[in-house]
Structure 1
């Protein structure tokens, strides 16, 4: 389970960084989104991912805080998801305005070779 999670985080982070280095604005925005997904998965993984455990508390384990996952990473990721959604929407509006003004979607505003 841990190796699958680590591979998923690394693929998302690697793809996000690769897309960040592209010259088109839309690819940069998608790269930022993938990178934020990788960071969210990493934060959730730091909150003690457990397998073969019931999501509902048992009566005999209610007093043992070591048997419970940490709620702080879950709250941080929930907040990060909302913020990244709003940021992505803002970036897309800025992309559309920039493309309308310049006529291109390249990051530097120029087509290659011109």
Structure 2
């Protein structure tokens, strides 16, 4: 009985592992990568704080603050023109923004500045 249990145990664990990978592959194909969405949601608070740190700077100090953020962050932050900003967003978010007519609008103090994150 003991040998029979270990033989079936290995087969059951192997089948559970294969089923898990198959389900993950199917979900990532149908709905996009769930791990990327989770990581994006977890990083949203830090990104929000960094954006406000840079945006709250006076007009002549925002670049200095952005450079300070670049020094301590592992994520590369590059400036980009507002006209090309929508092209850098994922396709689903662009469609959602078009649907709700929430295009990229410069904030009152930003005067057309936008920070684009590049992972690297």
Relative to the length of structure 1, the TM-score reads: 0.26
Relative contact order: is structure 1 or structure 2 higher (C-alpha 8 Å, sep ≥ 6)? 1
Larger Rg computed on CA atoms: 2
**Higher share in strand:** 2
